[in-house]
A = this chain, B = another copy of it.
Amino acid sequence: MIELDKIDLKILSVLQQDGRLSNLELAEAINLSPSPTLRRLKRLEQEGVIGRYVALLEPAKIGLGLEAFVRVMLDKRERQFATFAEAVQAWPEVVSCHAMAGEMDYLLRVVFEDLAHFSRFVMDTLLPHPGVVDVKSSFVLQAIKQTTALPLAHLVGGRS
């Protein structure tokens, strides 16, 4: 694993909150001058610790007020795992898809405008897909927490 000292962790922590800080602002936030800050940042990007930067949109502002988790069961006899994985990439309302241990099914997180939209997605897209034998939907009542920030606490003490 890559060596990360306290300064690196501070950089990561700050950028997980605001990925668009200028180098100057970042430098100030972590209490270091701009040049070494930039060098460290580049290294973190280079090493792949920072995978990417993204803008997060406000779902409600673009008419995506609803959200659901959908468990998808595939027929294990048909070998449709790959095509399903591929299809999932192409469905934009699917925000995440995880293969789960145990039941060997898939858990999708889906965002949508309204129930009609969701219904269309399930009826016209998901269920007709080859290998899909069953889906179980659970609607989100409330997002209590939703972050892209990963914990870093377990890394303190790695260096310096």
CB distance from A96 to the nearest CB of B (A): 5
Query: Interface digits, A33-74 against B, CB 8 Å rule (1 contact, 0 not)?
Result: 000000000000001111111111111011110010100000
Q: Does A19 contact B (CB under 8 A)?
A: yes
How many of these chains are in the complex? Answer: 2
CB distance from A1 to the nearest CB of B (A): 6
Select which of B20, B58, B143, B144 is within 8 A of A19 by beta carbon.
B20
Select which of B50, B54, B102, B149 is within 8 A of A148 by beta carbon.
B54
Select which of B47, B67, B106, B138 is within 8 A of A61 by beta carbon.
B47
Please judge, given known A-B contacts A19-B55, A56-B51, A145-B89, whether A63 and B1 are in contact too, CB under 8 Å: yes
Query: Interface digits, A12-47 against B, CB 8 Å rule (1 contact, 0 not)?
Result: 100111111000000000000000000000000001
Interface residues in chain A, defined as those with a beta carbon under 8 Å from any beta carbon in chain B: 1-2, 4, 12, 15-20, 47-59, 61-64, 67, 69, 85, 88-89, 92-104, 106-107, 111, 113, 117, 138-155
User: 9 additional contacts, CB 8 Å, given A50-B56, A92-B149, A97-B143?
Assistant: A19-B52, A49-B62, A50-B55, A52-B55, A54-B56, A64-B151, A85-B145, A99-B141, A148-B148
